[in-house]
Structure formats: structure tokens, C-alpha cells
Amino acid sequence: MPRKLKIKLYITVIRPVRLYGAECWTVRKKEKQNLEKPDVRMWRRMKGVTLRDKVKSVDIRKELGVKSTQEKVR
């Protein structure tokens, strides 16, 4: 499956399910970080980057052209 299609599916199907009702949540800093973890894991898998490669999550998001979950929840 092409990478662009994977990204589009994740953003349009999976992320909305995870964030359903987020506008009603009271989210603390730690909870925001926990919301971000599954996305970061998915972006790393899509890029084929591991934690050992020491590539920052911000750089991966920029390369893929996606926004962070924290920005979405605000």
C-alpha cells in the first residue's frame, strides 16, 4: 500500500476514532503526551525509522506533512 494512502487512511479513519469527544476532555500535559504516542509510533513505522535511528518525531511529521495530535486536540 502506498505511503500517502496509509497516511490518508490513518488521518481520516483511525485518528478521529481515537479523538472522538476530545473537545469535551480536560487534557493535562501528560495526557497530551499519551495521546501523541500512538501517532508517533505509526509515523515511525510508515517511514521505516526506529528509535535507534535517533530521528525526532517533529522531523518525521514534517517529512510526512501531518500535524501533531496535540494541535488537533486544542
Q: pLDDT (tens digit, 9 = 90+) per residue, 2-31? A: 888 988 998 899 888 888 887 787 878 888
pLDDT grade for 74, boundaries at 50, 70 and 90: low
Mean pLDDT over each residue of the chain, to the nearest integer: 86
Give residue-wise pLDDT tens across range 52-65: 999 999 999 898 88
Query: What is the residue extent of each domain of the chain?
Result: 3-73
- This prediction's pTM: 0.73
pLDDT at 13: 92
Report the distance separating Cα 10 and Cα 30, nearest Å.
23
Name the burial class of residue 43, with classes exposed (0-12), middle (13-18) and buried (19+) by CB atoms within 10 angstroms of its CB.
buried
Q: What whole-number distance in Å separates Cα of residue 16 and Cα of residue 35?
A: 12
